[in-house]
Structure 1
Amino acid sequence: MEIPLGTDAIDVSLPHCDVTVAEPAGGATVDVRAAAERALEEPIGPPLEARVDPADEVTIVVTDITRKAPDDVLLDVLLERLADRGVDRDQVTVVIGLGLHRPMTDDEIEAMLGPHADLAVNHDPESVVDVGAVGPDDDVPVEIGRPVAEADAVLSTGVVEPHQYAGFSGGAKTVVVGAGSESIIRYTHGPEMLAREGVRLGRVADNPFRETIDRAGDLAGLDFSINLSYGPSGVLGVRAGESRGVVRELAAVARDALSVPIDRTFDAVVCGVGAPKDANLYQATRGATYVALGDRNPLRESGRLVVPAALPEGAGDGTGERRFYRRLSETADAETLYAAMREGYEPGAQRAFVVARVLRDHDLYVTNSGAPGVVEECLMHAESDVSDALEAGSEVLVVPDALNTLLVDGGGRSQG
């Protein structure tokens, strides 16, 4: 069978194991441009023309290189629509929503946005404007990048895909986290929030994380979103309009396409990731945590997780990635790290907290990487190949696309 690795795939043969493959049913794919144009014609809520005036300075927040999104196509369609509204190209700024990831290079921006690369700037988390506050006591400042906060109209692109905390990504998250400061990331990604009921993979309704992000999006002035969702064979749908409705509709589309019922347990799970998420260890570990902390953990007690990942960037170069590496590499064991991080941690380090939570119960093997030393330093095991990470006779579940597969209990579905 083939498992993604970087932009390619590896052939995995496990003749000495009992193998089950978890592949979502998927769904009919769409042409992105045609679907985006249709979404703008049939928006959720008021149309784009009602949100933008011809004289407006417009900021469009797009996803960064860690997301697999045809932002060039979505941006092209948005710019054409804005031009029809009378908004000139020189009135538009495109902000790349980095969060605490590293800035994108000029070459990467050019490859991602094509002819619109000249409009783009990397988000600067040090140059932000306070636009309000969230939290139970309204004591968490919402600080948004200056090009967003000072715009007359704010638009966003994004991908509505399974997300460990938000249930599904997309919508206001692209703006609030991607173009925000450490304050909102510290609150939404802190141990108190992540421990709350409803903060879970695949859940949008009654999810405190999602609700906080949406409220912060209102304060940030997000006017209009155009998002898409993926299935195993490509883009399943595009929606545009009011961000909450966009996420809600695309999450339902994705959930139907990506759910796989699981009615037994396994000795090991092989979690496929591939590019762009396997560029560094910070992102690649999502494959393991999405499986172990999802709706249905398919592992037996002490079962192991196996993630093939290229890791050309090692642990990762951004602020969050460096904090993730430091936390894991400077701690003796997962139990100690988890207990210490329950008391709090710096923004970006939440991935270390979630990984430590998984490592308390399961060993994690990262295979086929170019950075085995980094893997070993981070409380994980490095092997040269998937087969080397599995014991003969193991019952193994292979999830070729772990980031876009929702393992659910029995014949049921994850909650909406």
Structure 2
Amino acid sequence: MRAELLYGKSGLSIEVPDHAVIIEPAAQAGLADEKGAVTEALRRPEGLPPLRELVRPTDRIAIVISDITRPTPNEKLIPWILEELSFVPEAQFVIINGTGTHRDQTREEFVRMLGEDVVNRIRIINHHCHEKEELTHVGTSSFGCEVWLNKEYVEADFRIVTGFIEPHFFAGFSGGPKGIMPGIAGIETIMTFHNARMIGDPRSTWGNMVQNPLQEMTSEVNRMCPPHFMLNVTLNKEKAITAVFAGELFAAHAIGCAYVTEHTMVPVKERFDVVITSNSGYPLDQNLYQAVKGMSAAHKIVKQGGTIICAAECSDGIPSHGNYADILRMRPTPREILDMINDPKFRLFDQWQVQKQAVIQVWADIIVYSTLSEEDVRAAMMTPTDSVDAALQGLTAKYGQEMTVAVMPQGPLTIPFVQGEQA
């Protein structure tokens, strides 16, 4: 039978055995009136008065957005927020692109993310986690680091954070407080948030908010300098808005996480020999670094010694910025890389993504279908393929004609878990 994977901007059609199990959420329709739903949420938020009653005409307002690697529909959300706050002069707004540790966006990318009208009217800045002069110290974390946040955010009279909520491979869920921490934090703070002990904690996993150390740290940091208002949404596979969550940061985010749990966490009876996953298509599958999320979702249900086939376009390469590719070359095997990262003396930017990848590779083989060169894929200790169909057919020699196969067309937008195992 045919299966359609989210891949790049166009999708990918593959042939899978008739007995393959397709794992994805029940289809969700986009809201009939997205603007109406968002406006209603801004006017009737969770735990707060309406947004326009909270803001004064003299306020300097900072709006934090997620960067281009996230599909948050800010080309809709930001104009609707600005319309709701039209009594505030446009010169008093700043939009802060929450890059975390990622690269800057260009003007052309901001136009795609926000629309040309917003780019022409409102001041927009990229967050720079390494630039101390662009940061402000707001406290000391109980997790063992000083806390630095974007200076313009801290100094604003009114702070808004936007985002979208989906299961996250170590923070439990995205959105909410993660827009601030790590979105606009300093590198010292981010390195602690992503250290080997935090990432390696078994509670740091998909869909878990209970004693998850990453959620505990991001919550702690947010309380030091909280956003005054949160606007988050959920999306379907067409990237249409399915629900809106607005208001007080923690209350509104908790409601959103419960909604996502209900719609995306899918139980299965047992693990599979082979799991085929996407990385949710563009923009999440822009590079191999981000594609670890799709692999991690598949890891939840693949047998030990099994194989994950990941289809991620990787139009932005490995990527070229950061230390991800360099760390992968520091040791010859995933086990040795994992041991290196778990050494308390090891501390290097991007180690968290390599750590998650190495954990998966110690458990299962990974085959990658992408636009990357064979050399780049092999340097990451994965196997390249130019055909998902051929790769799957070739695995019958390893697992036999009765090999069990699962397909995750939406990648990490769906989080399967084995019944009886920790979800």
Same fold (TM over 0.5): yes
Partner of 2:63: 60
Determine the C-alpha separation between the residues in 1 that align with 2:142 and 2:391: 43
Task: Give the TM-score of the pair, scaled to structure 2.
Answer: 0.90
Asked if structure 1 preserves the Cα contact closer than 8 Å seen for 2:150 and 2:184, the reply is yes
Give identity over the alignment, percent: 27
Q: How does 1:133-282 map to 2 (within 5 A)?
A: 133-136=140-143, 139-232=144-237, 234-273=240-279, 274-282=281-289
Determine the C-alpha separation between the residues in 1 that align with 2:34 and 2:342: 42
1:342 aligned partner, one-letter code? N
Deviation at 1:131, TM superposition (A): 1.0
Query: What secondary structure does 1:398 align onto?
Result: strand
Deviation at 1:75, TM superposition (A): 0.7
Deviation at 1:52, TM superposition (A): 2.4
Deviation at 1:171, TM superposition (A): 1.1
* Alignment RMSD: 1.9
1:369 aligned partner, one-letter code? T
Asked if structure 2 preserves the Cα contact closer than 8 Å seen for 1:308 and 1:369, the reply is no
Partner of 1:124: 128
Query: What secondary structure does 2:78 align onto?
Result: helix
Partner of 2:410: 401
Give the total of aligned pairs.
402
Q: Deviations over 1:304-361 (max 9, x none)?
A: 1111121122211333xxx111111232000000001012432322000110111111
Asked if structure 1 preserves the Cα contact closer than 8 Å seen for 2:276 and 2:298, the reply is no
2:264 aligned partner, one-letter code? L
1:109 aligned partner, one-letter code? F
Q: How does 1:340-359 map to 2 (within 5 A)?
A: 340-343=340-343, 344-359=346-361
Runs of at least 5 residues in structure 2 that lack an aligned partner in the other structure = none
Query: What secondary structure does 2:15 align onto?
Result: coil
Runs (4 or more) in structure 1 with deviation over 6 Å come to: none
Partner of 1:287: 294
- Structure 2 vs 1, CA of residues 411 and 363 (structure 1 numbering), >3 Å: closer, same or farther? closer
Deviation at 1:384, TM superposition (A): 0.4
Determine the C-alpha separation between the residues in 2 that align with 1:173 and 1:399: 25
Determine the C-alpha separation between the residues in 1 that align with 2:26 and 2:277: 17
Q: Deviations over 1:200-242 (max 9, x none)?
A: 1111233221121022112233111100012345322111111
After superposing the two structures, state which structure 1 stretch, 240-249 or 116-125, moved more: 116-125
Determine the C-alpha separation between the residues in 2 that align with 1:197 and 1:330: 25
- Structure 2 vs 1, CA of residues 411 and 24 (structure 1 numbering), >3 Å: closer, same or farther? farther
- Structure 2 vs 1, CA of residues 106 and 268 (structure 1 numbering), >3 Å: closer, same or farther? same
2:411 aligned partner, one-letter code? A
Determine the C-alpha separation between the residues in 2 that align with 1:63 and 1:101: 11
Asked if structure 2 preserves the Cα contact closer than 8 Å seen for 1:236 and 1:253, the reply is no
Partner of 1:102: 103
Asked if structure 1 preserves the Cα contact closer than 8 Å seen for 2:271 and 2:418, the reply is no
Query: What secondary structure does 2:101 align onto?
Result: coil
Determine the C-alpha separation between the residues in 2 that align with 1:336 and 1:196: 19
Deviation at 1:363, TM superposition (A): 0.7
Query: What secondary structure does 2:176 align onto?
Result: coil
Q: Deviations over 1:54-107 (max 9, x none)?
A: 211111000110001110211111111222xx3111100001110111111110
Q: Deviations over 1:227-265 (max 9, x none)?
A: 001234532211111111121111111111112210022
